[in-house]
């Protein structure tokens, strides 16, 4: 469901206790806010409650007074709130290598307004995609990787991310394994995309390996990165059936399409504040 342009987003989570839904919805009612979308989930295994509400503000809405009252209302529940104003656009940095399909797709979705974000920089270890970024009038930073000085290259990457003011980093087929140190810094606010094939084909030409095994499904997984780069909390996955008539080039083409769609879906969930981290899992409302 796409967000209406005039709506605020309220998200909160807390321990599972009686009255959590009432604490949020009654406060919105008392403030004269009209709820347009509401989702909540209580995880009985982790003992945590999650809620996301979109609402329209009344006349004379005072954001700071609303925030102060909300904090006071939720304090007894141990609630942590986030309030996102209408028409908010997230600042994003995209990291790429040579493959252009995910970058091209994301920049197009930004340009037509499907993804409410501002890509403030593209960072790459190769120069190949600079023309694409420049066409969209986005700064492109080529930071070649010296195997003898990976620490120095990642230091420059981190400095660019910090200087950009980015709230989200997207690894749109960035074909380098990030160091544990950089993964820790980006934990929970960087999204990676990669193919999902069974068996789990590793190394060069995974789709060619998949063809040799006669796979019947190809897919993609978008997830937050952490110290286990390809094993972070999953946000979205996509899958499509294939058969014996699909040659390696056909599997690659399908894989590209699924990667684009899955990554865009995950980014949309993130910037619309639909994703909550719940230990090493996600709750997507």
Q: What structural domains does the chain harbor?
A: 8-84 (3.30.70.260), 90-284 (3.40.50.170)
d(CA 83, CA 15) in angstroms, rounded, equals 19
Q: Of 27-31, 99-103, 141-145, 207-211, where does mean pLDDT reach its minimum?
A: 207-211
Confidence of residue 41 (pLDDT cuts 50, 70, 90): very high
Structure tokens at 241: 């059936």
Decide: 264 and 112 in contact? Cβ < 8 Å.
no
1 has a pLDDT exceeding 70: no
pLDDT in tens, 65-76: 999 999 999 999
- Residue 190 has φ and ψ, to the nearest 5°, of -130, 130
Confidence of residue 279 (pLDDT cuts 50, 70, 90): confident
Would you state the pLDDT for residue 227?
A: 77
Confidence of residue 197 (pLDDT cuts 50, 70, 90): confident
**141-148, long-range: CB within 8 Å, 24+ apart, which pairs?**
145/176
Confidence of residue 103 (pLDDT cuts 50, 70, 90): very high
Decide: 125 and 177 in contact? Cβ < 8 Å.
no
Tell me what the mean pLDDT of segment 253-262 comes to. 96
d(CA 48, CA 46) in angstroms, rounded, equals 6
Confidence of residue 47 (pLDDT cuts 50, 70, 90): very high
Decide: 191 and 275 in contact? Cβ < 8 Å.
no
Tell me what the mean pLDDT of segment 143-156 comes to. 91
d(CA 54, CA 42) in angstroms, rounded, equals 19
pLDDT in tens, 175-191: 988 999 999 999 999 99
Structure tokens at 119: 């890509």
Decide: 40 and 285 in contact? Cβ < 8 Å.
yes
Would you state the pLDDT for residue 2?
A: 60
pLDDT in tens, 10-35: 999 999 999 999 999 999 999 999 99
- Catalytic positions, written as ranges: 230
pTM above 0.95, yes or no: no
CA angle 273, 72, 275 (to 5 degrees): 15
Would you state the pLDDT for residue 198?
A: 72
Average model confidence (pLDDT) for the chain? 93
Tell me what the mean pLDDT of segment 138-155 comes to. 93
Would you state the pLDDT for residue 203?
A: 74
**Element (DSSP H or E) covering residue 14:** strand 8-15
Confidence of residue 210 (pLDDT cuts 50, 70, 90): confident
């Amino acid at each position: 469901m796409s967000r209406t342009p005039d709506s605020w987003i309220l998200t909160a989570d807390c321990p599972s206790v009686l009255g959590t839904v009432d604490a949020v919805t009654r406060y919105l009612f008392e403030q004269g806010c009209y709820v347009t979308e509401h989702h909540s989930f209580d995880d009985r295994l982790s003992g945590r409650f999650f809620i996301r509400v979109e609402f329209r503000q009344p006349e004379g809405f005072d954001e700071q007074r609303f925030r102060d009252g909300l904090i006071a209302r939720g304090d007894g529940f141990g609630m942590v709130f986030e309030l996102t104003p209408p028409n908010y656009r997230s600042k994003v940095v995209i990291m790429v290598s040579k493959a252009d399909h995910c970058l091209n797709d994301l920049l197009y979705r930004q340009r037509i307004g499907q993804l409410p974000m501002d890509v403030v920089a593209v960072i790459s270890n190769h120069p190949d995609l600079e023309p694409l970024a420049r066409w969209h009038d986005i700064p492109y930073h080529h930071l070649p990787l010296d195997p003898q000085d990976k620490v120095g290259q990642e230091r420059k990457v981190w400095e660019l991310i910090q200087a950009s003011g980015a709230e989200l980093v997207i690894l749109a087929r960035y074909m380098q394994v990030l160091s544990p140190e950089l993964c820790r810094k980006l934990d929970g606010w960087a999204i990676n995309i990669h193919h999902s094939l069974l068996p789990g084909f590793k190394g060069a030409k995974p789709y060619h390996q998949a063809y040799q095994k006669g796979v019947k499904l190809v897919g993609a997984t978008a997830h937050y990165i952490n110290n286990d780069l390809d094993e972070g909390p999953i946000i979205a996955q996509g899958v499509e059936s294939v058969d014996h008539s699909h040659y390696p080039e056909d599997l690659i083409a399908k894989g590209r399409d699924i990667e684009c769609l899955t990554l865009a879906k995950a980014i949309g969930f993130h910037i619309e504040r639909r994703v909550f981290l719940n230990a090493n899992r996600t709750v997507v409302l």
